[in-house]
Amino acid sequence: MIAVLQWVALGACLFCAAWRVPATLRGRNTGLFWAFVLLSVAVGLSLPEIYLVVDAGLGGRNIANLAIRFALYAIFYILAVKFAAAYRSASSARLIRGPVGISLLALISVATLVLFLLSDLPSTSVGLQSYSNQPSVQAYGLLGRLYPAYAAACLIRPTALAAVSAGAAGRKTAATAAGLICSAFIMVLLLTAMQIAAAAVPLVSQLIALLSYTAIVCMALGLSFTWISLRMEQRRKSQGARAGGQLHGWHDAT
Amino acid sequence: MSVPAKAFTQWLHSVAPGTSTAAVSRLSGIKRSTLAQQLVRGKVAVVTVVSISRAFDIDAVAALSGFDKYYDLASGLLPPTEAELVSQISDVDLLREIVARNAIVDPPEPAGKHILTPMPHKTSVRSWIDAIDVPGLRHTISRDLQMAPQNLSAQLSANRLAPEVAVQVARIAGVGLTGGLVVTGVLTPKEGGWPEDARGKALRALGDTDLVTLAAARLDALGKALRRTDQDNEQTNALWENLG
């Protein structure tokens, strides 16, 4: 079940990355392209079939796992900056790009690296499962969730407000997009709470995995819907421009 | 919203015996596929009944009264109230009237003389609801028709009102039952029993104070709607700049 979801999530990320290629070539919002490339890398590396091959190539010392962590930090930073600006939340933008957000990211990055080096990880293991009894590995696992959770927490409110206001304005696609993105962030927050509370329980860890990949699928879907709604909006505008002059705006408003 | 297809077919048979569906759609200007789809779904739109009535020169109100949901439409015919009439004068017509009344020399056109914009105007539905307002009207509508209040306000914002809601609103408010169908443009004023130039007479009878107050309220509402559109556009631009 989870394996299927992982492949679906990987497919969705690759699809979104491919969708961004033309815009990226034109130099429009290249960050989104890279976010989806990195997300594809992170999801790909969480699949044993890919992880074992890649990590063997990197020396078999689980550096691929470290790559997943840093990819996630970069993804969440890029997406958080983009969403804070796109949904016009000055306070979220401050929390992500301001001194607090940047120092938190730097601190967590350094701590992640230190804990990784402190751990004894002689041979390759998917998700570092063979080493889960080491305290430093447990701390490393938990730490990896903190920055994504922080970024997600900053964005739940603006995306939820956007979903509600787009819904009230009768823009169903835009509302669905913001709603999916908001639910992805809620899932990230939820799974971090679960990880802190009871990661050791097998059922809970399964639930965490389920939430992680569902959140990724929601994010990819949410952005796809955003692109569709923007296209619809553009088409509507260009038709409106053809249909009439200044008074046309009045017609729309009333 | 609609009338049952079965009742519609019976009605159609009585008004146009032996006429094929294709001929009916051609005569009434309804797309053949639209009519076929409505029949298949079992729900025929009120506008379809009205268009066919027009094509066969039948009184549309009488035709609609033949259907259960609208049984009281013909018997509930009343002349529009002054408030209803005034509510159906467009913003621009109100402003022109103010200008005309205040022009001291060489008025561009004498007060109460210019031809009013044909009904319905851009905010006709909300203006009508405001004009016939009885306490708790919106609450009663949503309860009677089991319709969410936000659904009703969405319809009003889009200057729409489903025919069955429009008639129910008139029933609750105790005004002529065709009023809602006239202000939504389903029926012409003439079909709905609104006397010719009734709006013009109502406008001329409107005192200066009421006229200015009404125009101010309309402009206020227009300003709010424009501001909402501006905010919507800003949000779309921000999305486009960052995620497009």
Tell whether pTM > 0.80: no
CATH of the domain at A105: 1.20.1070
Q: Name every residue whose Cβ is closer than 8 Å to that of residue A27 and which is 6 or more positions away in sequence.
A: none
The pLDDT-based confidence of B197 (bands split at 50, 70, 90) is confident
Contact check, Cβ <8 Å, A249/B229: yes
Domain assignment present for residue A241? The answer is no
Domain assignment present for residue A114? The answer is yes
Measure in Å the smallest separation between the Cα of B16 and chain A Cα atoms. Answer: 39
- Whether the CB of A74 is below 8 Å from some CB of chain B: the reply is no
Question: Which chain A residue is nearest to residue B157, measuring alpha carbons?
Answer: A254
Better-predicted residue by pLDDT, A203 or A25 = A25
Instruction: Compute the distance between CA of residue B56 and CA of residue B50 in angstroms, rounded to an integer.
Output: 10
- Whether the CB of B134 is below 8 Å from some CB of chain A: the reply is no
- Whether the CB of B95 is below 8 Å from some CB of chain A: the reply is no
- Whether the CB of B133 is below 8 Å from some CB of chain A: the reply is no
- How far CA A74 is from CA of A36, A54, A151, B102, B235, in Å, comes to 11, 20, 11, 66, 26
Residues forming a β-bridge with B45? B2
Structure tokens at A178: 């913001």
pLDDT of A247 above 80: no
Say whether the peptide bond before residue B120 is cis (omega within 30 degrees of 0): yes
Domain assignment present for residue A59? The answer is yes
Measure in Å the smallest separation between the Cα of B22 and chain A Cα atoms. Answer: 33
Q: Is the ipTM of this complex over 0.85?
A: no
Domain assignment present for residue A32? The answer is yes
Max avg pLDDT among A32-46, B96-110, B147-161: A32-46
Measure in Å the smallest separation between the Cα of B29 and chain A Cα atoms. Answer: 24
Q: Name every residue whose Cβ is closer than 8 Å to that of residue A81 and which is 6 or more positions away in sequence.
A: A31, A93, A96, A97
The pLDDT-based confidence of B105 (bands split at 50, 70, 90) is low
pLDDT at residue A254, as a whole number? 42
| Mean pLDDT computed over A87-105 | 94
Structure tokens at B198: 């009734």
Structural domains in chain B? Answer: 2-70 (1.10.260.40), 82-208 (no CATH)
Domain assignment present for residue A240? The answer is no
In angstroms, the first-to-last Cα distance of chain B is 39
The pLDDT-based confidence of B41 (bands split at 50, 70, 90) is very high
* CB neighbour burial string for B52-90, b if at least 16 within 10 angstroms, e if fewer: bbbbeebebbebbbbbebbeebbebbeebbebbbbbbbb
- Whether the CB of B241 is below 8 Å from some CB of chain A: the reply is yes
What DSSP character marks residue A47? S
Instruction: Compute the distance between CA of residue A104 and CA of residue A13 in angstroms, rounded to an integer.
Output: 27
- Whether the CB of A246 is below 8 Å from some CB of chain B: the reply is no
Domain assignment present for residue A245? The answer is no
Domain assignment present for residue A243? The answer is no
Contact list in B for residue A223 (CB cut-off 8 A) is 243
Tell which residue, A113, A3, A120, has the closest CA to residue A50.
Answer: A3
Instruction: Compute the distance between CA of residue B86 and CA of residue B211 in angstroms, rounded to an integer.
Output: 9
Domain count, chain A: 1
pLDDT of B153 above 90: no
- Which tens digit of pLDDT belongs to each residue from B47-77? 999 999 999 999 999 999 999 989 999 988 8
CA angle (B157 as vertex; B225, A249 as ends), nearest 5: 40
What DSSP character marks residue B17? T
Question: Which chain A residue is nearest to residue B242, measuring alpha carbons?
Answer: A86
Structural domain boundaries enclosing A114: 2-234
pLDDT of B112 above 70: no
Better-predicted residue by pLDDT, A181 or B20 = A181
Within chain B, residue ranges assigned H as helices are: 5-15, 21-28, 32-41, 46-55, 60-65, 82-87, 91-102, 124-131, 137-144, 149-157, 163-173, 179-183, 198-205, 208-243
What DSSP character marks residue B107? -
pLDDT at residue B110, as a whole number? 62
Measure in Å the smallest separation between the Cα of B218 and chain A Cα atoms. Answer: 11
pLDDT of A161 above 60: yes
pLDDT of A227 above 70: yes
Of A85, A169, A251, the CB nearest to B232: A169
Within chain A, residue ranges assigned H as helices are: 2-25, 30-45, 48-57, 63-86, 90-97, 99-118, 135-168, 172-198, 202-243, 247-253
Instruction: Compute the distance between CA of residue A137 and CA of residue A40 in angstroms, rounded to an integer.
Output: 24
Measure in Å the smallest separation between the Cα of B74 and chain A Cα atoms. Answer: 32
Instruction: Compute the distance between CA of residue A169 and CA of residue A105 in angstroms, rounded to an integer.
Output: 37
pLDDT at residue B1, as a whole number? 65
pLDDT at residue A171, as a whole number? 84
pLDDT at residue B108, as a whole number? 59
Better-predicted residue by pLDDT, B104 or A71 = A71
Q: Name every residue whose Cβ is closer than 8 Å to that of residue A222 and which is 6 or more positions away in sequence.
A: A176, A177, A178, A179, A180, A181, A184
pLDDT of A53 above 80: yes
- Residues present in chain A in total: 254
DSSP structure string for B154-210: HHHHTT---HHHHHHHHHHHTS-TTHHHHHTTSS-TTTTTPPTTHHHHHHHHS-HHH
Instruction: Compute the distance between CA of residue B171 and CA of residue B187 in angstroms, rounded to an integer.
Output: 17
pLDDT at residue B142, as a whole number? 85
Question: Which of A96, A221, A254 should one mutate to test binding to chain B, selecting the residue with the greatest count of B CBs within 10 A?
Answer: A254
The pLDDT-based confidence of A237 (bands split at 50, 70, 90) is confident
Contact check, Cβ <8 Å, A254/B154: no
What DSSP character marks residue B105? S
Domain assignment present for residue A80? The answer is yes
- Whether the CB of A241 is below 8 Å from some CB of chain B: the reply is no
| Interfacial B residues in 180-239 facing A (CB < 8 Å) | 222, 225-226, 228-229, 232, 234-236, 238-239
Show contacts of A187-193: CB within 8 Å, 24+ apart.
Answer: A187/A211, A187/A212, A187/A214, A187/A215, A187/A218, A188/A148, A188/A149, A188/A152, A188/A212, A188/A215, A189/A149, A189/A152, A189/A153, A189/A156, A191/A145, A191/A215, A192/A145, A192/A146, A192/A148, A192/A149
Instruction: Compute the distance between CA of residue A145 and CA of residue A60 in angstroms, rounded to an integer.
Output: 24
Of A86, A87, A254, the CB nearest to B123: A254
Instruction: Compute the distance between CA of residue B147 and CA of residue B143 in angstroms, rounded to an integer.
Output: 7
Question: Which chain A residue is nearest to residue B234, measuring alpha carbons?
Answer: A88
